[in-house]
Structure 1
Amino acid sequence: MLTGSTTEISTFKGEQRALRADRIGAPALLLSVLAATAPLMVVAGVIPTTFATMGVVGVPLLFVIVGLVLILFSFGYAEMSRHVHNAGALYAYISRGLGGTMGACASYVALFAYSIMQVGLYGIFGYEISSQIAQHWSHNVAWWIPALGGVAITAVFGALKIDLNAKTLGVLLLVETVLTIVFDISFLSDPGPQGVSVHAFDPGTLSGAGLGTALCFTIAGFVGFEQAPVYAEETSDAQRVVSKVMFIAIGFATLFFAFSAWAITVGTGPDHVVGAAQEQGPNLIFSLNQARLGTAFTDTLNIFFITGIFASMLSFHNVVARYAFAMGRDGLLPSAVGRTSKSSGAPAVGSFLQTLVALAVVIAFAATDDGKFDPKFGPDPTAPVLRMFTWAGNVGALGIVLLMATAAVAVIAFFVKRGAAGQQAWRLVTSGLAAIALVVIAVYSVKDFSVLLGANPGHGLRWILPGIIALAAVIGLVYGLVLRSKRPEVHARIGQGNEAFQLEKAASQAASS
């Protein structure tokens, strides 16, 4: 029932079928999106892992290349966000451009990909807390214990109002950014044996067997910018805010990560960065800072590294919950999932389901951990970091790359079908170029997946892990075809979101009058 209240959620199917509007403005949305990229976690966790595992020196150049590709993608994606406001974002856009069946397929890929990335973060979260306990108090605490604590805390925050979450994420983001800039400058002012060298930007540094997976790692560092449209229903001015936030987020991430990755090569020396990363692993940044800025700064950095991981966990949790909500509202998941909390307006059921998934995965990885422990360095990182975090991050990033490539094609189809190809010509060209580049990145990522595993090319996991995304696509595609055949009215609603319910309401009122 519609009322004059600005705080009530008014939709055809009742007060729990839409996310509460005017909850988040441009600054809060930007902070939420950038928190998902977890600047300190990427710089201290993802970038050293990429150097070590992939053996590619030109990681700073990769961030520039991928940043340019994502800017090309965002011209059309941002314009699409002005026409479609839906918490399903990527899958809703694909549905509007390529039809409901492809939308259903994309919805399950998005749900799997974001959920996998979110759950993988609990591995490095638990490992870092356990390592700090071992270093400062010499106690053996299994990584999965703080990981389970992280699951519980994230569940609580996920049920709160999005504006409260944005404030929490924003404070953590600002501190992370300042700390990272401080140690970047320290690396440049006290460089390694080769001085301040720009060798890492030489295209010749992009050779190596792990280039494809290094690209996937790099994409993972950017993941978060494309989440801005997920909050379109909850923003104060979706027409302008969403697109502006996306471009600011991409620009920030490109410059910040490229600069920080370059500073790391300067701190170690470009010829030594791969060896240093392989020797130090996740401790590389902290080791470099200990020598330059001392113990107090390094301990502070460790604390905010952990809180930065939490910020990313919470941001991805919120996104998964909203995708699940949108899918429940569209009939792609049980209708109960498309409900929100009356008190907070948050997608409570979707949040709860993601918590259950995270709980199950952490328990599964804990059961396969051999429990090795070094009194000085803490737990063995094999299960939580080298498997849970890196495997999940790359599988999730692969799914998101494929979604973005498909969304770029959907943008072209959307405007062509509406006779706006001439007006949007340059955006259609940039979308086409982005789609080609993203497909190339996806192909190289799958081809080099064995490098990530440290296994021979014929190893089963080399196909099983990327196959998770293929499985999600098949599930969504089959379900979409079933809906088109058996429940065409539901199929027609895929990607329409709350607009479908408003149209049904209008039709019902017209019929009864």
Structure 2
Amino acid sequence: MSVTTSELPEERASSDTATLRSGSLGTADIAFFVVSAAAPLTVMAGVAPLAILLGGIGAPVGYLLAGLTLAVFAVGFTTMSRHITSGGAFYAFITRGLGRPVGIGAALLALIGYNGMEIGVYGLLASTTRDTLHSLFGTDVPWLPISLAGLVLIGYGGFRSIDFGAKLLGVLLVAETGILVLLAGGVLVKGGAHGLSLGSLAPAHVFVPGTAAVLAFAFAAFTGFESTVIYRREARDPERTVPRATYLAVGFLGLFYAFIVWVAVQAFGDDQVVRAAGKDPAGLFFTAITTYVGGWAADLMHVFIITSVIASLLAFHNAINRYALALAEEGVLPRRLGRIHPRHRSPHVAGIAQTVLGAVVVLAFWAAQADPYQQLLLWVNTPGMIGLLLLQLLAAIAVPCYFRRVSHQEGSLRTLVAPVVAAVLLATAIVLVVGHIDLFTGASPAVNTLLVIVSPVVFALGLPLAWWLRRRRPEVYAAFATEPAE
């Protein structure tokens, strides 16, 4: 009688028979991965002041609108997740809706997008850690050792079991959101600078020229929320867990972002916050928490920004590994990348490859004497962000195309109306992001043009790759994203 992998002790299962640890993740665990990837504290302290500076006191509404758009997208997205169970998530959905050539292009785009979102953040880890050490201890350290130490730490976290990662992210997420809640409590108890105001919700303050820039920042703040479906194979009762985690993550991020930005406005007052943001955008939240809570809380916020970045890195690292695993199982990437650790049940070979790739990019920027924030973070992150937005758009378009061709019992609201509305809104979001790309990068027009075209070019390369696979490896092409991964 044959013995299944699930019956083998973890220590005895070989790399060839080991599988991902099914049934390990509940709704909260998956939500932790998604929300941690967004790095709420880093987004608020590092980016929200710029949103306030450009959009004024109506900035909180921009985050609500972005959250609402992605909630509409999630309707069709999660509906399709009940019908397509491949570990390839985005590219599997797009393949089934729009065809294999488009799906293969989407697979390349997913690899570039998620790697860009993670690897660039090693520059942010270096800059925030360096700034924190200087702020707290007056010491100056080079950035390269910090980034390399981060690579080792994240590589180890991805090597361990998925439930280990979920527990770690849970602790880090509580820390970073907790410090923001502490700030909110201080502001609310003391009534803000001049009393609490709802002026941020007034149409006159929302519909201003800077709102487009706020929306661009807001959509970027949700990047990675769609990775819930990547963990389907490790989820408990995935048909319920994955949709719940998706809506929980989007709802939490949208409401939490809007609330915290509103709190920041109250901390300085409707008539003073824009001036304060313009004077010291990087210090806006630290000034607020020092005023309303105390200097010790500002020191704690500095430390928790580092842990926020670490949590984001680990979340993206795990997502990348599972995409690489799925593509290795498909035969598009080398099969070796699909090996799973017999004890930890993690895609450890894919994790090692991703860590090596990150090290190569980090070392290349260091050798070029680049700035870890201005170049490594912004120049690598920006194409990743655009790539993931393009994937969301393609997935939204794929939903009605897929359901039009198959028999199902889903309602038209989920399979047609919501996806079409989401596609229009996501296309608008991409236009806003590209139109304000200089706000994200601070780079020259030539560099910005290059950063914008990376994702479309990578996607376009999928077409000749699809042609090559169809001619040279027809069995791989024929089976691509058509069967659930084992």
Instruction: Write the mapping of 1:486-501 to structure 2, written as runs, cut at 5 A.
Output: 486-496=472-482, 498-499=484-485
Is this contact kept in 2: 1:212–1:447, CA < 8 A?
no
Q: Residue 23 of structure 2: SS of its match in structure 1?
A: coil
Q: Which letter maps to 1:487?
A: R
Is this contact kept in 1: 2:84–2:484, CA < 8 A?
no
1:102 and 1:151, CA in 2 relative to 1: closer, same or farther beyond 3 A? Answer: same
* Alignment: residue pair count: 481
In structure 2, C-alpha distance between the alignment counterparts of 1:343 and 1:313, rounded to whole Å: 23
In structure 2, C-alpha distance between the alignment counterparts of 1:263 and 1:445, rounded to whole Å: 25
Is this contact kept in 2: 1:43–1:260, CA < 8 A?
yes
Q: Which letter maps to 1:426?
A: L
Q: Which letter maps to 1:250?
A: V
Deviates more, 1:299-308 or 1:152-161: 299-308
The Cα offsets for residues 349-383 of structure 1, whole Å up to 9 and x where unpaired, read as 2211221222122223333447xxxxxxxxxxxx2
Q: Which residue of structure 1 aligns with residue 140 of structure 2?
A: 140
Relative to the length of structure 1, the TM-score reads: 0.87
Q: Report whether the alignment pairs 1:24 with 2:10.
A: no
In structure 2, C-alpha distance between the alignment counterparts of 1:445 and 1:189, rounded to whole Å: 37
Q: Report percent identity of matched pairs.
A: 32
Q: Which residue of structure 1 aligns with residue 47 of structure 2?
A: 46
In structure 2, C-alpha distance between the alignment counterparts of 1:363 and 1:204, rounded to whole Å: 48
1:384 and 1:197, CA in 2 relative to 1: closer, same or farther beyond 3 A? Answer: farther
Provide the alpha-carbon RMSD of the alignment. Answer: 2.5
Is this contact kept in 2: 1:122–1:150, CA < 8 A?
yes
Q: Which residue of structure 1 aligns with residue 98 of structure 2?
A: 98
Deviates more, 1:39-48 or 1:89-98: 39-48
Q: Report whether the alignment pairs 1:426 with 2:428.
A: no
Q: Which letter maps to 1:30?
A: A
Is this contact kept in 2: 1:173–1:308, CA < 8 A?
yes
Deviates more, 1:324-333 or 1:481-490: 481-490
In structure 1, C-alpha distance between the alignment counterparts of 2:301 and 2:253, rounded to whole Å: 20
Is this contact kept in 2: 1:449–1:462, CA < 8 A?
yes
Deviates more, 1:360-369 or 1:139-148: 360-369
Deviates more, 1:219-228 or 1:256-265: 219-228
Instruction: Write the mapping of 1:427-466 to structure 2, written as runs, cut at 5 A.
Output: 427=414, 428-454=416-442, 459-466=445-452
In structure 1, C-alpha distance between the alignment counterparts of 2:368 and 2:193, rounded to whole Å: 41
Q: CA offset at residue 128 of structure 1? A: 1.6
In structure 2, C-alpha distance between the alignment counterparts of 1:33 and 1:206, rounded to whole Å: 28
In structure 1, C-alpha distance between the alignment counterparts of 2:57 and 2:124, rounded to whole Å: 23
In structure 2, C-alpha distance between the alignment counterparts of 1:83 and 1:436, rounded to whole Å: 24
Q: Which letter maps to 1:494?
A: F
Is this contact kept in 2: 1:7–1:20, CA < 8 A?
no
Is this contact kept in 1: 2:30–2:245, CA < 8 A?
yes
The Cα offsets for residues 289-331 of structure 1, whole Å up to 9 and x where unpaired, read as 1122112222222222211110111000110111111111112
Q: Report whether the alignment pairs 1:128 with 2:128.
A: yes
Q: Which letter maps to 2:276?
A: A
Is this contact kept in 2: 1:94–1:102, CA < 8 A?
yes
Q: Which residue of structure 1 aligns with residue 310 of structure 2?
A: 310
Q: Which residue of structure 1 aligns with residue 376 of structure 2?
A: 388
Is this contact kept in 2: 1:213–1:446, CA < 8 A?
no
Deviates more, 1:146-155 or 1:476-485: 476-485
In structure 1, C-alpha distance between the alignment counterparts of 2:221 and 2:469, rounded to whole Å: 36
Q: Which runs of 5+ in 2 are unaligned?
A: none
In structure 2, C-alpha distance between the alignment counterparts of 1:455 and 1:275, rounded to whole Å: 24
In structure 2, C-alpha distance between the alignment counterparts of 1:404 and 1:97, rounded to whole Å: 13
Is this contact kept in 1: 2:85–2:484, CA < 8 A?
no
Is this contact kept in 2: 1:61–1:202, CA < 8 A?
no
In structure 1, C-alpha distance between the alignment counterparts of 2:483 and 2:165, rounded to whole Å: 24
Q: Which letter maps to 2:29?
A: A
In the TM superposition, structure 1's runs of 4+ consecutive aligned residues that sit over 6 Å from their partners are: 207-210
Match of 2:466 among 466, 477, 480: 480
Deviates more, 1:468-477 or 1:112-121: 468-477
Instruction: Write the mapping of 1:188-207 to structure 2, written as runs, cut at 5 A.
Output: 188-190=188-190, 195-205=195-205
Q: Which letter maps to 1:450?
A: D
Q: Residue 333 of structure 1: SS of its match in structure 2?
A: coil
1:7 and 1:323, CA in 2 relative to 1: closer, same or farther beyond 3 A? Answer: farther
Q: CA offset at residue 48 of structure 1? A: 2.4
Q: Which residue of structure 1 aligns with residue 295 of structure 2?
A: 295
Q: Residue 6 of structure 1: SS of its match in structure 2?
A: helix
Is this contact kept in 2: 1:330–1:496, CA < 8 A?
no
The Cα offsets for residues 219-252 of structure 1, whole Å up to 9 and x where unpaired, read as 2221232111100011121111111111111111
In structure 2, C-alpha distance between the alignment counterparts of 1:216 and 1:472, rounded to whole Å: 22
Q: Which runs of 5+ in 1 are unaligned?
A: 371-382, 503-513
1:369 and 1:79, CA in 2 relative to 1: closer, same or farther beyond 3 A? Answer: same
Is this contact kept in 2: 1:89–1:229, CA < 8 A?
yes
In structure 2, C-alpha distance between the alignment counterparts of 1:246 and 1:390, rounded to whole Å: 27
Q: Residue 142 of structure 2: SS of its match in structure 1?
A: coil
Is this contact kept in 2: 1:211–1:444, CA < 8 A?
no
Q: Residue 492 of structure 1: SS of its match in structure 2?
A: helix
1:112 and 1:169, CA in 2 relative to 1: closer, same or farther beyond 3 A? Answer: same
Q: CA offset at residue 211 of structure 1? A: 5.1
Q: CA offset at residue 7 of structure 1? A: 5.1
Instruction: Write the mapping of 1:331-410 to structure 2, written as runs, cut at 5 A.
Output: 331-369=331-369, 383-410=371-398
Q: Which letter maps to 2:160?
A: L
